[in-house]
Structure 1
């Protein structure tokens, strides 16, 4: 929708295995169920039908500590058998993800995918071609910078990005196309990566001074 992976996405995504986080951020690929755990995003996987029981057991802890909370979560995680024998949905593609998404620019990532030429790579090209060019560029930089920042620093950065996106065109257009009119045909401005300048990207990351997020 012309935005970026917010709510700490700039912190945990670049810390996933290889370039998985960059792939997820730039393509919007959705992980489900146990794959969220296998990717490293979730710490535990619990069957949905047992979430109520898990909540009761956590609330029943008389003196909650990190250790005994972990013990309860681990118990439910270990007992879960759903999709336990299945491999990670992206396992067979990780080599391509790591090679194609190991680049410092969106343009280079696109070139890597084109040169790879596999059906998987070409499918990702189709997906990326529909994304907001501005969002692609700020998202890549968000993850690159976030890889060496603290969580608080990332959240401050993401607040700046959110304010810039609110003042821009693409977020509003994305919401219109996906959530309001639902025509799924956003008209991005700029519509081409070449038209998104370094200055445009830099402006999204500028300090807000006294209006910056504070902890």
Structure 2
């Protein structure tokens, strides 16, 4: 029986192509894939025959649904240093993508969450198909919106990034383009043709312009910006919930749903995520990645991540018992501890993008 490689690399025409190749696992990103991808990209950066890098995925369901959470859960429960090593490697890869010296084109179709966001949003060109479904659902498993979420979410229009971080709301193609997650919208049927044209012609700006189109559906989240800004501009999670509870008029039902969803999330994760949005808005990318490494180091020693994975992925009872169970029991000092500097801070090399 032949075992398929989890990640594929090839040179075709003017491009180096990365293909995430775990379609049955929704192309979930694991340590082996990260370890292989970074040096290959570094080699292509030095290869004059490679004008651009294309990142795509096998299968139709997902570009990448996130990290291999079950593996990370098991490592963390066993106090295996492999968990922390994975995040260090992943965050360095995210930073490398952000500063990559050649065009980096992510062809994103289907589910894009967590680790898949880190492999796409930091690239120079993010090409979204019609079936795109983007979300950052980490607070629902006692985690936090990482892979650069500290940087890119606060830079979305208004408080849209804060709303996404706290509620795990989903964006489709039109919202992805409007919010800045994607740079281009294309027809799903054209994805293969886009890849071939990039390999043949290079020059992604002009090549993608030939395929780009207005998304078929409107951007529903754009119409919600006034209420999102009104409610999610509060300084604390408690005040955000209070504003949502008090929202009246045409958006009252929407606000009630957002509040109900937030109350199912880990209280600790909600407070971490809001602090991320506040700190990330003032920080450069490298500092945001260091912040995330500080947080993940402390999350690995906590309770909620393991309980969230148990409830959602292992037992699937969707009834996590968060500790602490209420926002009132998560103090500012508790949150401060997640953001405190580490003795061994993440080293984030940041060469300028050409």
Q: How many residues align?
A: 206
2:282 aligns with 148
2:153 aligns with 13
> Within the alignment, does 1:108 sit opposite 2:108 as a pair?
no
Deviation track 1:38-93 (CA, whole Å, cap 9, x = no partner) reads 222111112222222211222224xx5xxx22112222113xx651xx32112332
1:120 aligns with 254
> Within the alignment, does 1:22 sit opposite 2:162 as a pair?
yes
2:190 aligns with 50
Instruction: Report if aligned partners of 2:294, 2:345 keep a CA contact under 8 Å in 1.
Output: no
Instruction: Report if aligned partners of 1:37, 1:45 keep a CA contact under 8 Å in 2.
Output: yes
1:76 aligns with 211
TM-score (norm 1): 0.90
Cα distance in 2, alignment partners of residues 211 and 123 from structure 1: 39
1:196 shift after superposition: 0.4
Instruction: Report if aligned partners of 2:174, 2:185 keep a CA contact under 8 Å in 1.
Output: yes
Instruction: Report if aligned partners of 2:232, 2:240 keep a CA contact under 8 Å in 1.
Output: yes
Secondary structure of the corresponding residue to residue 220 of structure 2: coil
Pairing of 1:1-215 with structure 2 (within 5 A): 1-61=141-201, 64=202, 68-78=203-213, 82-83=215-216, 86-117=217-248, 118-215=252-349
Deviation track 1:4-54 (CA, whole Å, cap 9, x = no partner) reads 111111111111111111111100001122321122211111222222221
CA distance 1:178–1:213, change in 2 (3 Å): farther
CA distance 1:199–1:185, change in 2 (3 Å): same
Cα distance in 1, alignment partners of residues 151 and 283 from structure 2: 7
Cα distance in 2, alignment partners of residues 156 and 132 from structure 1: 23
Secondary structure of the corresponding residue to residue 210 of structure 2: helix
Higher fraction of strand: 2
1:210 shift after superposition: 2.3
Cα distance in 2, alignment partners of residues 82 and 96 from structure 1: 24
| Unaligned stretches of 5+ residues in structure 2 | 1-140, 350-354
Cα distance in 2, alignment partners of residues 82 and 110 from structure 1: 32
| Unaligned stretches of 5+ residues in structure 1 | none
Cα distance in 2, alignment partners of residues 95 and 211 from structure 1: 38
Cα distance in 1, alignment partners of residues 209 and 285 from structure 2: 25
Instruction: Report if aligned partners of 1:159, 1:213 keep a CA contact under 8 Å in 2.
Output: no
Q: Which range moved further: 52-61 or 11-20?
A: 52-61
Instruction: Report if aligned partners of 1:33, 1:45 keep a CA contact under 8 Å in 2.
Output: yes
Q: Which range moved further: 198-207 or 86-95?
A: 86-95
TM-score (norm 2): 0.56
Cα distance in 1, alignment partners of residues 187 and 304 from structure 2: 38
Cα distance in 1, alignment partners of residues 171 and 292 from structure 2: 22
Cα distance in 2, alignment partners of residues 25 and 166 from structure 1: 20
Cα distance in 1, alignment partners of residues 185 and 313 from structure 2: 30
Cα distance in 2, alignment partners of residues 163 and 44 from structure 1: 35
